[in-house]
Structure 1
Amino acid sequence: MTIINLIILIAVIVGMWKVFDKAGEYGWASLIPFYNLWVLNRIGGKEWYWFIGYFIPLVNLILFALLSLAIARRFGQPGIFAVGLYFLPFFFYPILGFGGSRFQPYAA
């Protein structure tokens, strides 16, 4: 693993940890593979069966995009922010976690 990969990994984990904390979830859940996806699904307000769809090729691309949009909206961010969460999570999750946005559990 290169230094750049390690920096990206740490940025995503720390950013997701803070996002989980803001959403009222345990931050350590961001460290556990698959469980962190389950928690993100909950934060995004998606049903449990979406979790199964994340493991189906091509379907997962669409579901991750929709989940990114739902998470962005729940934190009061515009749709373009969801594009950042989808394509540049190492940059946008820390912005979401450390920024001033607040979790709105019933946002559309």
Structure 2
Amino acid sequence: MTESGFAPVHVGVLVVALVVAVLEIAATWRVLVKASRPGWGVIIPIYNVYLWLKVAGRPGWWLVLYLIPGVNVIVHLVVSIDVARSFDKGTMFGVGLWLLPWIGIPILGFGSARYVDANPSA
């Protein structure tokens, strides 16, 4: 059996992956715009994490914590919960956002969630 018989399957997987990636970028773009941040920032590596920290109301230097193995997992959980709270969602939604971002981010971006300033003094 030749591998060429599996080519349509590979193309199908690639198409699905591209569609999911585009939807996630669009959803995250919408989340950033709702939070009065530049939506285009989602496509810039590292800067997108910085913007996500700002949406969560966390300081930019927390970006360094993402570079520490093990600590980054906990930091991302805290940031996910803070992002959920910034959109007036509960802690469990934040945990879901941490575990299943491909579901939570579109809910925030395309749903009726409204941004509540996470840190009005900053």
TM-score, length of structure 1 as denominator length: 0.91
For the residue of structure 2 that corresponds to 1:49, the secondary structure is helix
CA distance in 1 between counterparts of 2:49 and 2:118 reads 20
1:23 counterpart residue number: 35
Query: Quick one: which of 86, 109, 113 aligns to 1:97?
Result: 109
Contact between 2:85 and 2:118, CA under 8 Å: does it hold in 1?
no
| Structure 1 contact 12–91 (Cα < 8 Å) conserved | no
Q: Distance in 2 between matches of 1:39 and 1:106?
A: 13
Q: 1:87 — aligned with what?
A: 99
Q: Which runs of 5+ in 2 are unaligned?
A: 1-12
Larger Rg: 2
Q: Which sections of structure 1, spanning at least 5 residues, go unmatched?
A: none
Provide the secondary structure at the position in 1 that maps to 2:59: coil
Match of 1:75 in 2: 87
| Higher-RCO chain (CA-CA 8 Å, sequence separation at least 6) | 1
Name which of structure 1's ranges 35-44 and 81-90 shifts more when overlaid on structure 2.
81-90
1:79 to partner: Cα distance: 1.0
Q: Which runs of 4+ in 1 moved over 6 A?
A: none
Deviation per residue, 1:17-53 (Å, 9 max, x gap): 0000000011111111110000001110111221100
The equivalent residue for 1:14 is: 26
Q: Show the counterpart of 2:73.
A: 61
Higher helix proportion (structure 1 or 2): 2
Identity %: 35
